[in-house]
Amino acid sequence: MKHKLIGLFVFFGIAFMGCNTVSNKRIIRLGHGLDVTHSVHQAMLKADAYLNEISEGKMRIQIYPNQQLGSERECLELLQIGSLDMAKVSGAVMENFAPKLRIFGLPFLFDSKEHLFKVLDGPIGKEILSEGDDFWLKGIGFYDSGSRSFYTRERPVTNPDDLKGLKIRVQESASAFEMVKQLGGSPTPISWGELYTAIQQGVVDGAENNPPSFYLSRHYEVCKYYIIDEHTMIPDILLVSTHLWNRLSTQEQQWLQKAIDLSVPYQRELWIESENESLQAVIDAGVEVSYPEKEAFQEATLPMYESFREDPEIAELIDRIRNEKN
């Protein structure tokens, strides 16, 4: 209840004030759902420091972590009406607002982290960031969110057959829902903030996420099996409300974009450290970490590619992304 009251208080403050200008300083409010120790939050702090330096104190970013302003979907809705300035969301959640972003939900689309970064940092990445423009959601950067893998409560998963009959938490993403179905599991959408209790009480049998999220959420306390199958690489996306963006001067837009651009390599470095530390920490806590053969998982999800290719634009995008690995 306290959490909700704080969120509502901040929300109504933002709804009435929008992007604040205090003593000739523009304050940009940014909401996200992660812990303050997460690499994404640390990168946001770095972006704020860069922005303060670049603008000579004329612009700052005020960050609200831990779902203080609501879930990722709720933050997106606040951006659309101009009651929030910026937000960080998963690409999986973004697909509900800009359909082309469901491309990130295709399992095993990227061969490696290098392949992913080549796409995100190039022309394709810029195109994808612009997909939300018509929906009042301007993408200005990608943060690394690693690869997602399954973790379970009662038994390890070594192949898709082991997922049969298991209720697996998924994000609010049609692609994630379909992927778990193709693998034989029962996809169950649950808010991130409610997931620990849902696993603990047996509402779901497991979930899927990257190592830092598995560790920092303390889900390793209720799930003792972590299978590193790396089925998807879904980046986090930094978004600005176009209501705010259109109010910024050209100079202010450039300052903000540069600050975010400078924070991206910093976040990627932190991510690698966080991934390694998180995996070691859950192993030390008694979690059984395994690395299965991926071929069976890849085969089980091939029908998703056939379905996606029914959309000519998505089919072309798949081919372009595949070609980037060369």
Q: What is the pLDDT along the chain (326 residues), one digit of tens a residue?
A: 444 444 444 444 544 445 565 567 999 999 999 989 999 999 999 999 999 999 999 999 999 999 999 999 999 999 999 999 999 999 988 988 888 899 999 999 999 999 999 999 999 999 999 999 999 999 999 999 999 999 999 999 999 999 999 999 998 889 999 999 999 999 999 988 899 999 999 999 999 999 999 999 999 999 999 999 999 999 999 999 999 999 999 999 999 999 999 999 999 999 999 999 999 999 999 999 999 999 999 999 999 999 999 999 999 999 999 999 76
Map residue 240 onto helix, strand or coil: strand
Chosen CATH of 2-144+235-276 out of 1.10.10.10, 3.40.190.170, 3.40.50.300, 3.40.50.2300: 3.40.190.170
Q: How far apart are CA 72 and CA 144, in angstroms?
A: 17
pLDDT at 4: 45
Tell me the longest C-alpha to C-alpha distance in the chain. Answer: 61
Q: How far apart are CA 217 and CA 169, in angstroms?
A: 14
Query: If you count DSSP H runs as helices and E runs as strands, how many of each does the chain have, helices first?
Result: 14, 12
Other residues' Cβ atoms within 10 Å of the Cβ of residue 86: 28
pLDDT at 120: 97
**Domain 148-233+282-323 architecture:** 3-Layer(aba) Sandwich (3.40)
Q: How far apart are CA 152 and CA 158, in angstroms?
A: 11
pLDDT at 96: 84
pLDDT at 21: 57
**Residue 55 tokens, joined:** 């603008």
pTM of the entire predicted model = 0.88
pLDDT at 326: 63
Segments making up each domain of the chain, as ranges: 2-144+235-276, 148-233+282-323
Q: Are 2-144+235-276 and 148-233+282-323 the same fold in CATH?
A: yes
Q: How far apart are CA 42 and CA 268, in angstroms?
A: 11
